[in-house]
Amino acid sequence: MNPQQITVKMALLSWETQISRADKTFQKLSDEQLWQEVSPGRNRGVYLLGHLVAVNDGMFTLFGLGERLHPELDEAFLKNADKAGFDFPSTADLRQYWLDVHSKLNEKFQALSAEEWFQRHNAMTDEDLAKEPSRNKLSVLLNRTAHVAYHLGQVALIK
């Protein structure tokens, strides 16, 4: 393995670890628990689940891997805060969306070569990448991995 391949492997293992931890957490929480706030006046678990599904679903188009599975989640989970008055899908549906998005992302991620991970994503131009080569698909994956870990820490506060 060359250094680029090792770096990608490490990043993917980190991603998979955080997704697995989040999956276990969301699956063990009851529906009632998911509707609780993580602390008084803060987001509810159901919102964080929907938010993570919507954000991670966006990687399909951002990386040029195909169409998003659930763009309908954006209004409630990306463009607005929790408790903004939007109807959420059922917790059963959100749990299934989580599984579907991450299963398909994993499949797509495994098909990318190490070189492809260091290429630009669709929110930037070739000129942007030439100026800042560290702004690539792999950097987005690392950022999204940290994002999952951050919100997983919040969800852990649900009793």
pTM over 0.85: yes
Q: Are 74 and 56 in contact (CB under 8 A)?
A: no
- CA 71 – CA 78 distance, rounded (Å): 10
* pLDDT digit string, tens, across residues 69-78: 999 999 999 9
Each domain of the chain, given as residue ranges in start order, spans 3-155
33 CB-contact burial (10 Å; exposed 0-12 / middle 13-18 / buried 19+): middle
Partners of residue 44 on adjacent β-strands: 37
* pLDDT digit string, tens, across residues 13-69: 999 999 999 999 999 999 999 999 999 999 999 999 999 999 999 999 999 999 999
Q: What is the mean pLDDT of the chain?
A: 97
Task: Report pLDDT for 159.
Answer: 78
For domain 3-155, the CATH superfamily is dinb family like domain (1.20.120.450)
